[in-house]
Amino acid sequence: MRKLSLTFNSNQRFLLRNVSIIVLGLFINQLLQTVGSIVLARVLNDPSQFGEINLLLQIFGMVTLFLNVGFNAALVYGFSTDRQGAVQNKFRLAMVGSVFFGIIISIILCALSPLLAHTYQLPSLKGALIISSLMLVFNSIVNVGVSSFSGNRDFGTQAFFMVITTIFSTLGMVLGVLLPIGHNLLWGVAFWMGVGSVLTALCICWKAEKVHKPKWLGALSLPQMQEMLKYGVPLWAGNIAKAFQQPFLVMVVGASSVIAVGHLANAFRITGFIGIVTWAFMIVTFPFVAESSRDLAESRRRGTLCVRYNNIILYPLTLAICLYPDQINGFLFGSSYTTGDSGMYIRLLALGVFFSSVGRLGGNILAGMGKTRANFWVMIVAGIFVIAIVPFVAAGNPVLAVWIYTGGWAVSAISMIWFFFLEGFRLHWWKAYGEPLIPTLAMGALMEIGRFTGPLYTWFIIAGVVVLLLLTYMIENGWLSLRKLPSARLASAAQDEHR
C-alpha cells in the first residue's frame, strides 16, 4: 500500500512559509479595508455619499502610485544582493530621494485639487485633497522602511507594518465619518487618515533603526542614486501602469454615476481577496529569485515554483467568485448593493485579477534576474486599452468599460509569456500553469452539476471542495504525473538533498 506523504525541499519550505506570512498580513489588510467599507456603507446608508468618499480614496490611491520613483524597488534588490552596502548607503539615498519626490507630488496634487473638485462637482473635494497631500511625504517614508525589511527577507516584520498601516488608515477613514471636520465628511476622512500616516512613519523609522542601524547621515552620491533609478524606474513605471487602472476606471465611471462607483468599489474589494495571493508571491518572489540570480537553472526552478503555487491557490478562488458573485456581495455589503450589474462587475474584475497575475508575478521574477523592462512593457500593454477606450464608453456603458479593462489584462498575460521567451527565461509551463488547473476544473464541474440537483446542491459544493483538496494533494505528491516515475522521484530527491 502506498504511503501517504508530502515532503518539501528547502525552496518549497521557504516559499510556502513566507508566502503564508505575507498572505496573512495582506488578508488582514483586505479584511480591515472591507470591514471599514462595510461600516461606512451601513452607517451612511447613502450610496451617493458612499461613492463620494470612495472617489476621494481612489484619487488619493492613484496619486500614491507616483511615490518613491523606484527607489524602494532598488532598495529591495540592494538588500537582497549586498546588505552591507544597502545599510551603509542605499537606505539613506532611497529615503532622501523618496521624500524629495514625495514633496514634489504633494505640490502637484495641491495645484490640481481645484480642477478635480470642479470636474466632479464636489467643492469639498478641493480641501480634502490639499489635506491628503500632506500624507504623501509620510507614505514615502513608510514605503522605504517596508522595502528594507522585504529586501532583508524579514517578511514577518514587513507584514506587521503593512497591517499597522492599514489599521491606522481604516481607523482614520471611519473616524472621518464619525468625527467630521466642520461637518465635512471628506475633510474629516483626509485629516484622520493623515494622522495615521504620521504615526506609521514614526513607528517604521524606529524599527528600521533598531534592526538595520542604517547610516542616516552621510554624503549623497548622485551617481549611485542614478544607478538606483536606472534599476527602479522601469519597475516604478510598470507599477503605475498596472495599479492606476483601477482608480482610473472608477474615476471615469464616477464622472457619470457615483452609484456605479460604489458597486465598482465593492467589486474591487471582493476581488482584492484573490489579488492578495499574487501580491504575496510577488513580495516573496523578488528577493527569492534575486538571491539566485547568478544561477540560471536555479532561478528557473524558483520562478516555476512561485508561479505554480500562486496558481494552485488562485485558480479555485477565482472560479468560486465567478460562480457566486451575488451571494458574496450580499453577504458582505447587504442586498441593496446586489442590484443591477454588480454581479457582472465582480465576475469581470475577478478574471482581470487572474490575468493580471501572469504579468505581475512574471515581471517580478524577471526583475529578480536584473531584467526590469518586461515589468514596464507588459503593464503598458494592459493600460493602453483602459486609457484609449474606456473614457469614450464608460458614461454610456460602464459594464463594457470593465470588459475592456479585463481584456487588456488578458492581452498583457500573453505578452508576458512572450517576454519569458525573449529574455531566455523559460519556465516549466506544464508544472507552472497546467497541473494546477486540474483540481479547479474538477471542483467547478461538480459545483455546476450540483445546480441541477435541488436539495443536494450543498453536498455537491462540499464534494467539489473535497475533490479540489484531494487532487491538489495527489498532484503535489506526484501521483498524477506520468512523467515522474519512482526512479525519477528518487533522482529529484537526491538533487534536492545535494542542493
* Whole-number pLDDT of residue 340: 66
Backbone phi and psi for residue 160, each to the nearest 5 degrees, phi listed first: -60, -45
User: 390 and 399 in contact (C-beta within 8 Å)?
Assistant: no
Alpha-carbon Rg for the chain in angstroms: 23
C-alpha cell at 232: 527602479
Task: For 305, list phi and psi in degrees, rounded to 5.
Answer: -60, -40
- Sign of the Cα torsion 58, 62, 67, 70 reads positive
**DSSP letters along 123-182, please?**
THHHHHHHHHHTHHHHHHHHHHHHHHHHHTT-HHHHHHHHHHHHHHHHHHHHHHHHS-BT
pLDDT digits (tens, 9 = 90+) for 486-498: 434 434 444 444 4
Stretch 292-314: mean pLDDT: 86
What is the identity of the amino acid at 289?
V
Residues 6+ apart with CB under 8 A from 360: 242, 278, 279, 282
Split at pLDDT 50, 70, 90, the class of 470 is very high
480 secondary structure, DSSP code: T
Backbone angles phi, psi at 184, to 5 degrees: -115, 110
pLDDT at residue 160, as a whole number: 86
For 291-372, where are the alpha helices, taking DSSP H only? 296-323, 325-333, 342-368
Please compute the mean of the pLDDT values over residues 369-395 and round it to a whole number. Answer: 80
Cβ–Cβ contacts within 10 Å for residue 12, how many?
16
Cell triple for 390: 474606456
Instruction: Name residue, grid cell 532598488.
Output: 74
The pLDDT value given to residue 440:
93
DSSP state of 184: B
pLDDT digits (tens, 9 = 90+) for 404-444: 888 888 998 999 999 888 888 888 888 889 899 999 999 99
Q: What type of residue sits at position 420? A: F
C-alpha to C-alpha distance for 158 and 136, rounded to whole angstroms: 20
Render pLDDT for 329-379 as a digit per residue (tens, 0 to 9).
777 776 666 776 777 888 888 998 899 889 888 888 888 887 777 777 888
* pLDDT at residue 439 in the model: 93
* Residue whose C-alpha is closest to residue 329's, from 41, 52, 44: 41
Question: 184 forms bridges with which residues in the sheet?
Answer: 181
Nearby residues of 325 by Cβ (< 8 Å), 6 or more positions away: 270, 342, 343, 344, 346, 347, 350
Percent of the chain with pLDDT over 70: 90
Compute the distance between CA of residue 55 and CA of residue 247 in angstroms, rounded to an integer: 8
Reported as a pLDDT band with limits 50, 70 and 90, residue 4 is very low
Q: Specify the pLDDT at position 315.
A: 93
Position with higher pLDDT, 278 vs 260: 278
For the chain, the average pLDDT equals: 80
pLDDT tens-digit profile of 198-245?
A: 888 898 889 888 888 888 887 788 888 888 888 888 878 877 777 777
Q: What pairs with residue 181 in β-bridges?
A: 184
The full 3-state SS of 63-91, as one line of letters, equals HHCCCCCCHHHHHHHHHHHCHHHHHHHHH
Beta-carbon contacts of 391 under 8 Å, excluding residues fewer than 6 positions away, are 252
Per residue in 134-189, pLDDT tens? Answer: 888 888 898 888 888 877 778 888 888 888 888 888 888 888 777 777 667 788 88
Q: What percent of the chain has pLDDT over 90?
A: 9
Spatial contact of 383 and 411, defined as CB atoms under 8 Å apart: no
Non-local CB neighbours of 313 within 8 Å, separated by 6+ positions = 277
Q: Is the separation of the CB atoms in 276 and 30 below 8 Å?
A: yes
User: Please, is 441 exposed, middle or buried when counting C-beta atoms within 10 Å of its C-beta (0-12, 13-18, 19+)?
Assistant: middle
Task: Quote the cell numbers at residue 407.
Answer: 481584456
Tens digits of residue pLDDT in 65-105: 788 888 888 888 778 777 777 788 888 888 888 899 889 98
Burial of 445-474, coded b for 16+ CB within 10 Å and e otherwise, reads ebbeebeeeeeeeeebbebbeebbeebbeb
Q: What are the residues whose beta carbons fall under 8 Å from the beta carbon of 165, sequence distance 6 or more? A: 142, 196, 200
CA distance 373 to 351: 25
H helix intervals, 394-456 = 398-422, 429, 437-450
- CB burial class (10 A; 0-12, 13-18, 19+) of residue 427? buried
Contacts of 344 (CB under 8 A, 6+ apart): 325, 399, 402
DSSP run (H or E) holding 213: none
